[in-house]
Amino acid sequence: MKNRLKILRAERDWSQADLAERLKVSRQSVNAIETGKYDPSLPLAFKIADLFEMTIEEIFLKD
């Protein structure tokens, strides 16, 4: 699944570690989501959407 996570994170000048801390996941998880190697669970997707004040559909795109 494609996503805009890296762009959104960069716009806020957050490192992967910064985002991981805010989401209470590992930096490796953030990296895996950003590179499309891992699709987040629905609860995590909602948490990401809430953090960026966007909808899930605005962040995660169908391939």
| pLDDT tens sequence across 36-61 | 999 999 999 999 999 999 999 999 99
| Secondary structure class of 25 (helix, strand, coil) | coil
Residue 6 has pLDDT above 80, yes or no: yes
pTM: 0.92
Average model confidence (pLDDT) across the chain? 96
Question: b/e string for 3-28 if b means 16 or more Cβ within 10 A?
Answer: bebeebbeeeebebeebbeebebeee
Alpha helices in the chain (DSSP H): 5-11, 16-23, 27-34, 42-52, 56-59
CATH code of 2-56, in short, is 1.10.260.40
Domain ranges for the chain, please list them: 2-56
